[in-house]
Every structure is written in structure tokens, then in C-alpha cells.
Amino acid sequence: MSKESIDKALEMWKEKVKEGVNLPDTISAVLDQAIGMISAGDEEAGKFQEQIEALILNLPDEDKKRINRFLLDFNYIQGICRLDEKEDCKLGTDILTERVKEFKGEVESSPSLVTLLSQRSRHPVSHAGQPEIN
């Protein structure tokens, strides 16, 4: 996605907010688009964080907490995806998708990023591809 198309998308979402579109729907659409960008390896995905931060000022406190948690995970997962850690990137974007569902009220709560990633580290693999024996 080019810088020009990102700017155009951000302007579109700003207009939607001005039109009175339901803010959680607007934010979840922005979040979905940002997730798609990081999973595709687009380095401009971070620009959406600025838009999200501008939108959260109008949210209730509980939603602000959820979005801030999303942004923390988003930054971490974006870094993983930039490092080209494909398996962790996929897991991370799945987690972010669950966060969006939580924000929309489609699920009660989403799993913790730390919990899910630590489950993988409990089963380390040696460089030869064989599980390490401690």
C-alpha cells in the first residue's frame, strides 16, 4: 500500500467520524486494515496508529483500555513481522484480529499475547530441528 493510498484511507476514516458513523465500527475498520497491512509486510502500517490514537480520545474509558492494549500488541507484532518471523507474525495477526472482535463485542475477551507466545517458547527447538532436552 503506497503512502498516498494510506493518506487517502486515513482521510476517508476521518470523514466517516465527522459523519457520525459509530466510532467503534470506524476504529475496528481501521484496525482490520492495519492488521492486513502488517501481515502483508507493509512498513507503513504504523501510520494507522496515529489515526487510532486520534479516534480513541472520544471513546469511553473501558474502550480506551482495550485499544491501548491493542496498540501495545500491534507495535510488538509489527516488529515481529518486520523481522520476517512468519509463524510468529501469523500468530500475532491472529491475536490482533481477536482483539478487534473483543472491541466489537463479538467475543468476551481475547487471549493475552504474552501467554500465547510463551506457550511456543516452552517447547524450544534445537538448530537441527529436533526438540531440545533439558
- Sequence ranges of the domains in the chain: 3-121
* Residue-wise pLDDT tens digits, 22-75: 556 777 777 788 888 877 777 777 777 777 777 777 778 887 887 888 888 888
Question: Taking 70 as the threshold, does the pLDDT of residue 95 lie above it?
Answer: yes
Q: What is the pTM of this model?
A: 0.59
Q: How many CB atoms lie within 10 A of CB 47?
A: 17
| Residue 23 contacts residue 33 (beta carbons within 8 Å) | no
Alpha-carbon gap, residue 97 to 106, rounded angstroms: 11
The three grid cell numbers given for residue 36, joined into one nine-digit string? 492486513
CA distances to 34, 73, 91 from 94, in Å: 13, 11, 5
Instruction: Tell me the β-bridge partners of 125.
Output: 131
